[in-house]
Amino acid sequence: EKAMENFEKAIDLNPDLERAYTSLGMSYFKLHRWDKALEALQKAVTQNPKHVDSHLYLGRVHLEQKNYEKAEKELQIVIELEPKNIYAHAYLANIYMEQGEYPKAEAELEKAVKIKPDELFFHYNLAHTYVQLQKYTQAIEEFQEVLKLKPVFQDTYFHLGSIYYKQGKNEQAIECYEKETQHHPDNPDAYFNLGLIYFEEKKYDLAEQNLRKVIQINPQDAQAHELLGDMYAEKGMYLQAADHHEKAAHLKSQGKLYIKGYDPTKDKKEDLIRAVMEGVAYAMKYGFELLQRGMQKQKIAEPKRITITGGGSKGEEASQIRSDVYGKELINPHTEGAAVGAAYIAAAGVVDEPVEEVSARLFERGIQLSLQKPTFVIPRNENIRLYEEGYQRYLEILEEAIENNFEQKW
């Protein structure tokens, strides 16, 4: 603040002092007062259009404000005035990386590295750019260059391990992940990836050791619980597997409502209930389509009707939703076969009569119930198309959820 007062006094004494405007703008920049910084720096370049630092800091202010077009313009001016300005090349690379334009970022970082080969940040960012471009050999070389300049720098060993894993070089990957855990013992992702490699190699004791380390660091890590469950299942330890799978499912569902477009401030409770019923119908349709694919391979004719039974099948609205979603006629029997059968068995066990006589009488009653005319649910044509659109959105959400839940940690 004192420095800014001095700069402002200098400007009052000499309004044409462009260096004072530049220094004032740089001071405002450090205080994150972007509007004030822009005002001062623009006055500086107005007085001296070839002042490199003023254009450089203008570019940085625009970059902080995510105004990439203006930032790029200012930094290009810096390079025109001073082609070997490493900071202009580096900040241009940042712009391109944030916009996903990795070939452009690559070009700028390669220039920066050539101008100043001992700047490890340039090598580090260039390595990440190569990873995005799937140039793994070059990425390894750049990460190794980082380690030459500084033996322990951020998460370099972790990223090296991830590249080696992608290349199928598990031994080198394990070595790098182990070094990462030595230098950064609280990095759960390094332990998770070690656990994953050991799981794939069927080295279950080592996998368990590393996955438990993940959970020790972060008890809420659903993926670690899920992989531990898979490992126990492979070992035939099904109770432990079920325990960890249950924890994983609980953690994944906590605080999440996967209903795109549902607005709790506007929609009513019944809207949410209906959305849930529609989601169940979509899930069942997805399973039915998988079944149909198998039937087609076996050259089995596609059913024209579907018999529904069990949970929710007796509700008129739920049945109609399913019929509309499937686009097929539903047959809804009046009796639940499994429930009736269980009741018959229970009755036969408690009455004081010969089991054969009770069974025969109950069986006859079951026949009478089964002869009752079922309810037929006909799909409504006007809803079939609407639900098909909703089903396509459901498939998109399902694909996204699968990608997120099974995403590897690199």
Nearest by Cα to 372 from 317, 313, 332: 332
Nearest by Cα to 340 from 321, 364, 323, 304: 364
The 10s digit of each residue's pLDDT in 60-91 is 999 999 999 999 999 999 999 999 999 999 99
The 10s digit of each residue's pLDDT in 95-144 is 999 899 999 999 999 999 999 999 999 999 999 999 999 999 999 999 99
Q: Which residues contact 87 (CB under 8 A, 6 or more apart)?
A: 56, 78
Confidence of residue 369 (pLDDT cuts 50, 70, 90): low
- Torsion angle (degrees, nearest 10) of CA 108, 113, 116, 118: 150
Q: What is the mean pLDDT of residues 17-30?
A: 78
Residue 43 has pLDDT above 90, yes or no: no
Which pLDDT score, from 0 to 100, does residue 255 have? 41
Residue 259 has pLDDT above 50, yes or no: no
Distance of CA 124 to the CA centre of its chain: 24
Yes or no: say if 222 and 195 are a contact pair by the CB < 8 Å rule.
Answer: no
Q: Which residues contact 256 (CB under 8 A, 6 or more apart)?
A: none
How many of the other CB atoms lie within 10 Å of CB of 216? 13
Yes or no: say if 7 and 24 are a contact pair by the CB < 8 Å rule.
Answer: yes
Domain ranges of the chain: 2-215, 294-405
| Most confident of the following: 256-270, 286-300, 337-351 | 286-300
Nearest by Cα to 201 from 167, 224, 168: 168
Task: Classify burial at 13, counting beta carbons within 10 Å of its beta carbon; exposed 0-12, middle 13-18, buried 19 or more.
Answer: exposed
**DSSP class per residue in 300-318:** PPPPSEEE--STTTT-HHH
How many of the other CB atoms lie within 10 Å of CB of 284? 15
Which pLDDT score, from 0 to 100, does residue 11 have? 47
Instruction: Return the CATH fold of 2-215.
Output: 1.25.40
Which pLDDT score, from 0 to 100, does residue 405 have? 57
Q: Residue 258 corresponds to which tokens in the numbers above?
A: 């996967």
Residue found by looking up tokens 């259009």 in the block: 49
Which pLDDT score, from 0 to 100, does residue 402 have? 67
The rounded distance, in Å, linking the Cα atoms of 222 and 220 is 6
Lowest mean pLDDT among 37-41, 234-238, 365-369: 365-369
Confidence of residue 391 (pLDDT cuts 50, 70, 90): confident
Beta pairing, strands 375-377 & 329-332: antiparallel
Residue 365 has pLDDT above 70, yes or no: no
Helix extents (H) in 84-166: 86-98, 102-115, 120-132, 136-149, 156-166
Average pLDDT, the chain: 82
How many of the other CB atoms lie within 10 Å of CB of 334? 12
The 10s digit of each residue's pLDDT in 270-314 is 677 778 888 888 888 888 887 777 777 777 777 777 777 665 656
